[in-house]
Amino acid sequence: MKTFLDCLPCMMDQALRAGRMATDDERIIKKLLDTVGAMMKDIPMENTPPETGEIIYRKVREITGVTDPYKEIKKANIEEALSLYPELKKNVEESDNSLLTAIRMAIAGNVIDLGVNKKFNLVEDVQKILKQDFAILDFDKFEKQLKIADSVLYLGDNAGESVFDKILIEELNKPVTYVVREIPVINDVTEEDAIASGINEVAEIISSGTTAPAVILSLCNNEFIERFNNSKLIISKGQGNYEGLSNVKQPVFFLLKAKCFVIANELNVEENDIVLKGINV
């Protein structure tokens, strides 16, 4: 997905929020905003938004000197999600269609996103999403693709959401490789977060190699790209991964909640809609 004009003020806003997570020193945050503002002219509109995000969050690290501003909040989100796990798991097991309910759970976990300017209440939001209609629901295609795939490549998004991913992975009944970011960026899931979420009990964990807040193939390592190119079923979580991968040629299912109107427009849905969208299947 290309960068839209609306993404530019949003990037300033993201820099402000990330800066505030890293430091209370307003002069440092001002310097960060000055730097991001001056970068605007170098942002190619044909790039995907997370490619620019990669540069912005790098500037957050460089200018504030803090490599993982979201460390504590990620830990708290994982703990809260783990506390919900037994009940969510029970919901899935008791439902008429456990695979579809698990997909819904995985999307519900996508509210834990600190890259967008939206507050969330995990328990309330999850309950709401569990009852919400899908705006796009390519479930038949998903089931069919799952049947023919030997294994699943599962692209994680946020820490905490990863606990909800575990529930879906347990319903797939296929070998799963769970893909994490190479380094901490926003509250995206890293190897450490995935292990804290119990993903290591149900999947192999690998890094995409990227330092962007999404899977951007041109920024990924060769091992990941090879796996990506040979996968029969790729599950992609969240907005950032959609922005990065919406034009690839592989069979990808995007599981996300549309949290900004730019992405909602691009998907032809409304803001706050939930989506299971398959491409190249």
Stretch that binds a copy of itself, among 26-34, 152-160, 226-234, 263-271 (CB under 8 A): 26-34
Residue 52 CB, shortest distance to a copy of itself, in Å, is: 12
5 binds a copy of itself (CB under 8 A): yes
Judged by CB, which is closer to a copy of itself: 5, or 140?
Answer: 5
45 binds a copy of itself (CB under 8 A): yes
40 binds a copy of itself (CB under 8 A): yes
Question: How much of the chain is in helix, strand and coil states, percent to nearest 5?
Answer: 55, 15, 30
30 binds a copy of itself (CB under 8 A): yes
33 binds a copy of itself (CB under 8 A): yes
114 binds a copy of itself (CB under 8 A): no
Q: Which of 23, 39, 137, 183 binds a copy of itself (CB under 8 A)?
A: 39
Judged by CB, which is closer to a copy of itself: 37, or 175?
Answer: 37
Distance CA 87, CA 167 (A): 11
Q: Spell out where the chain has E strands.
A: 134-137, 152-155, 176-180, 204-207, 234-237, 252-257, 274-279
Judged by CB, which is closer to a copy of itself: 53, or 156?
Answer: 53
62 binds a copy of itself (CB under 8 A): no
Judged by CB, which is closer to a copy of itself: 5, or 94?
Answer: 5
Residue 181 has what DSSP assignment? B
Distance CA 277, CA 256 (A): 9
Distance CA 36, CA 31 (A): 9
261 binds a copy of itself (CB under 8 A): no
Residue 271 CB, shortest distance to a copy of itself, in Å, is: 13
The residues near 168 (Cβ < 8 Å, ≥ 6 apart) are 102, 103, 105, 106, 154, 235
34 binds a copy of itself (CB under 8 A): yes
Residue 19 CB, shortest distance to a copy of itself, in Å, is: 8
What three-state secondary structure class fits 253? Answer: strand
Q: Which two tokens stand for residue 213?
A: 């807040």
Judged by CB, which is closer to a copy of itself: 15, or 152?
Answer: 15
CB burial of 54-79 (b: ≥16 within 10 Å; e: otherwise) equals: bbbbebbbebbebebbbbeebeebbe
Judged by CB, which is closer to a copy of itself: 17, or 141?
Answer: 17
Nearest alpha carbon to residue 252 among 147, 141, 157: 141
Q: Which of 1, 18, 29, 276 binds a copy of itself (CB under 8 A)?
A: 29
Residue 2 CB, shortest distance to a copy of itself, in Å, is: 11
Nearest alpha carbon to residue 82 among 156, 162, 157: 162
Residue 203 CB, shortest distance to a copy of itself, in Å, is: 38
Cβ of 36: how many Cβ atoms within 10 Å?
25
Residues contributing to the site for a copy of itself (CB under 8 A): 5-6, 8-10, 12-13, 15-16, 20, 26, 29-30, 33-34, 36-41, 45
